[in-house]
Structure 1
Amino acid sequence: ASAARRVDPTLEIVVLEANGYAAYGMCGLPYYIGGVVPDAENLLAYPPETFRADRGLDLRLHTRAVSIDPARHQVETGQGEPIGYDVLVVAAGAQPTRPPIPGVDHDRVFTVRALEDSIRLRAMIDNGGVRRALVVGAGYIGLETAEALAAQDIEVEVVEALPQVTMGVDGPIGELLEAELRAHVAVRLDTAVTALESRGDALSVRLSDGDMIDVDAVVLATGVRPDSRLLTAAGADHLPGGALLVDDQMHTSIAGVFAAGDCVAHHHRVLDAPAWIPLGPAANKTGRVAGTVAAGGNACFGGIVGTAVVKVFDLEVARTGLSAAEAGPDALTCDVVHRSRAKYYPDGHPIHVRLVFESNGRLLGGQLAGRDGVAKRIDVLATALYAGLRICDLTELDLSYAPPFAPVYDPMLIAAQRAMLNLPAVVS
């Protein structure tokens, strides 16, 4: 909406939001729960009145769109009000998945997706009502939330239905991540929650291994699904999981209707195919593109490579492109351990690098883990993937060097040089 306003100051722009807040930093919710962000207001991009007064947006909070009629160019709200449109942008995001188990709707069961839910959990913590918590799911949100709770002296247990922590990393990087998590909280893999039972002010949780544990709060971090129901019901093309298919200007298959954010599939530059990877930067960029084009401007989105970074207690873990498992059995891998700083400089730490590539030298992805310097280096790999660089190109990158920041041969260069040894001589 803000991008559309910048293109055309004369437009009438109506924004419908089902919840009571607009434009807040969803990725900051675990840090608000953990007290790093002291006030929920800090997560708001702007107060609602700023959007209304300064940007001239007709922002309607607590107003849910329940259906779309493309033939009539009309949206119906939960209040039964029909709203006409010339151009429609749907940016409904993603909704947390809730496993179909008894007790999942208990008021001590939370998801870290809506600000309202996080405010409620934070209030319960501040009032001393959470001494033991269960986090269900060991993906990005589960890992960050486990740390946020543990930092407040809450006894935390993480259960994950899969046999490994599920951040999309593998090999030694996955092992480091699991070890770091286990060093701070209890972890059960290959374990699912089968039922939640109320026990006064607490919950008894039944697990698939037969155990029962009593907790004060349960945080569901079992993944999300694209909230695309409005447009799939109206006939928009989508992937099997529901993510909407759009072109590089965010047009859907329905004339006059755009979609952006976590409800859409993006062009994956490594796969050369649409992929649903709901992450904040792409959601923000595609929202700008959709708003710009919808208002008559010109913009396009270049696609993604699936770059993500997470802090898990004292470990930074990042990935981009494809993991070895995602790349398939013919992919090659190279694992290197080097130092984050010059050997003689204090406070340097080991940094683990994994490269994933093809036998022809094509780079497919990479992963890193270490105490520091991970985010800088994953961005180098992400740039290489976006630009279509090969392993041989990585060895020649002119990266920055100073002892406080890197050894003279950066871990990225060492990994690329080592990977070259695995390639046929004609490729090298």
Structure 2
Amino acid sequence: MTTFKDRSEVLAELGTRLTIAEVVDTLVKGDLPIRINAYDGSATGPDDAEFTLDIKTPRGINYLASAPGDLGLARAYIAGDMIANGVHPGDPYNILKAMQGIKFHRPSALSLVTIARSLGWERLKPIAPPPQETLPRWRRIALEGLRHSKTRDAEAIHHHYDVSNTFYEYVLGPSMTYTCAVYDSPEQTLEQAQENKYRLIFEKLRLKPGDRLLDIGCGWGGMVRYAARRGVHVIGVTLSAEQAGWAQAKIIEEGLSEFAEVRHSDYRDIAEGDFDAVSSIGLTEHIGVHNYPFYFGFIKDKLRVGGLFLNHCITRPDNTRTTKAGDFIDRYVFPDGELIGSGRIISDIQNLGGLEVLHEENLREHYALTLEQWCKNLVDNWEKCVAEVGEGTAKVWGLYMAGCRLGFQRNVVQLHHVLGVKLDENGTWDVPLRPWWTP
């Protein structure tokens, strides 16, 4: 049987030291589509590459060598030890697109010996990640409890949403809406598309003046205020104290207190029931796939007979496995996030009995457009954002949003609306036979 050795293994046997560029080559499978320059003067990748990464410090190569892949790259980039040339840090979409084919792998034991000899053993010792990184999953269990307990969910939401309301205003724009917009055309503004999204959900739920709506995971209250302006009585609930404070102040400012309320609370603590409709816009990603039966059972219990609900969430394109967030997303963006396909969501809804799915649609391309405009806002307000939250955090957001835009374009993730109804004991509908909303 013939065995093949990579270059670093051959060099290890010869006792040769590697340059930083050669260390990078050891961590990458196949050819690099970009140019990488290192602080020792070495380089790898095409000479004429449109984009380059500059590794500026020994700490940068430590991050890459100790966590080959998106987590190591993110650590080096966010900490400032690696610079991306040719793109703005608020929107590194183009370099991420160029890098999408790169595959990383952990080097063999022999290769690690060569890397350690080349860099110095001290360079491979674990070092602290950037301060924006949260704990790994196994450590969260010890400090925050089991995944999707109330305590741990509250901490996960705090990590992502309690950054700074001012920062979110710069990135999200006047609507303060942090969920996928709905576009009539790519030329629509972000604000027009977000208003269109709320109009679509309002119409799908057949809301009218005097109705009662529960909005679970209401964010900064965009849906709450949209419905309240049209005479609907709304309770919104969010685990983010920053969101709840901002939303409640906005309700008072707009004179909507008679109709609207946003609570800083776990949705599981909502005591009221008999709602005409329930909206869940961007929350299901946070609750855990194994909790879907409980979650949709909760929605069923909160609805009156004949009441409608709409679930708006990010999904995977298939239903073959539960997928936890990747290392970068889990550590820097959505701790404990989980996704699966829309088929699993629909099955878990209908398996409960008493709920029936009426309609579903995929808005995947709409989210790519939304993320593109959020990145544009970040670029346009870059200096203000950096002043508000620091350069590292601002870079996390640029990296995350640009990467997600690419994911939606490539069908790695999707965005689904699932509309359902609570049936009476005879299983009858109280809705029109055909869709009643404007597309």
Structure with the largest fraction of strand: 1
TM-score (ref. length: structure 2): 0.23
TM-score (ref. length: structure 1): 0.23
> RCO higher in 1 or 2 (8 Å CA, sep ≥ 6)?
2
